[in-house]
Amino acid sequence: MDSDRDMDPAHQVPDGVDEKTVRALGALSKALETTERARGHLYGFHQLTGTADFELDDAVRLLREAGHEEQAARVEREIVGRNVIPGHWTFQIIEAYNDTYYRPFTATERDIVGELAAGRDHLFEARLKTARRTRSHPDHASTPSDT
| pLDDT tens-digit series, residues 86-125 | 999 999 999 999 999 999 999 999 999 999 999 999 988 8
116 within domain boundaries? yes
- Long-range contacts at 10-15 (CB < 8 A, ≥ 24 apart): 10/120, 11/120, 11/121, 11/122, 11/123, 11/126, 12/120, 12/126, 13/117, 13/120, 13/123, 13/127, 14/117, 14/118, 14/120
98 within domain boundaries? yes
Specify the number of domains making up the chain: 1
7 within domain boundaries? no
Which pTM does this prediction carry?
0.82
For 127, how many CA atoms within 13 A lie in the half-sphere containing its CB?
15
44 within domain boundaries? yes
Show the domain range for 63.
22-146
2 within domain boundaries? no
In this predicted structure, the answer to whether residue 2 has a pLDDT above a threshold of 60 is no
| pLDDT tens-digit series, residues 17-34 | 999 999 999 999 999 999
121 within domain boundaries? yes
